Amino acid sequence: MQSVIIYGFPIILVSFEWLLRTLIGVDTFGFIGPTLAATGISFMVPLTKLKEQEIDSNEGERWIRVSKRDKNFVSFIWLALFVALFLWFWVCTLSLQSISSTTFGFPSHVLVGAMMYLVSIAFCAVKEVM
């Protein structure tokens, strides 16, 4: 249940903001793409921390072990974060255009922001099982 709340919370916030903007009469689609993209980036930042396991030796010393898979995954996440920042900038640019481009019937900035959000959740799931 906690995972549903953590990963679903941004969608709840977007929904409340959409409702508020609709009631006030302000454009509702201009903020959704950049918000989802920023949320995706914020989910990826904690994934840059290596998972450390403490190991007690026979001599009473404590060692810290980090798996090579986790090191490689963290390196990949840093690269993904770098790319995600440019994607976020692009999403912001798309959302500010007066004529919104569409892909599969959705505004492009919403579609790209949603994809970034879903990819970040997939990255979180991968990190959980590592």
pLDDT category at 98 given cuts 50, 70, 90 is: low
Per-domain boundaries in the chain: 2-129
What one-character-per-residue DSSP string does 19-33 give? HHHHHHT--SSTTHH
**Rounded distance, CA 73 to CA 79, Å?**
10
Mean pLDDT rounded to a whole number for the chain: 84
Helix (H, G, I), strand (E, B) or coil at 75: helix
- pLDDT tens by residue, 13-56: 777 777 877 777 766 667 788 888 988 998 998 898 888 888 87
| Half-sphere exposure in the Cβ direction for 95 (13 Å, CA) | 22
pTM for the predicted model, two decimal places: 0.76
Place of tokens 């549903």: 4
Q: Spell out the residues 6+ positions from residue 56 whose beta carbon is closer than 8 angstroms to its own.
A: 62, 63
| Per-residue confidence (pLDDT) for residue 93, from 0 to 100 | 85
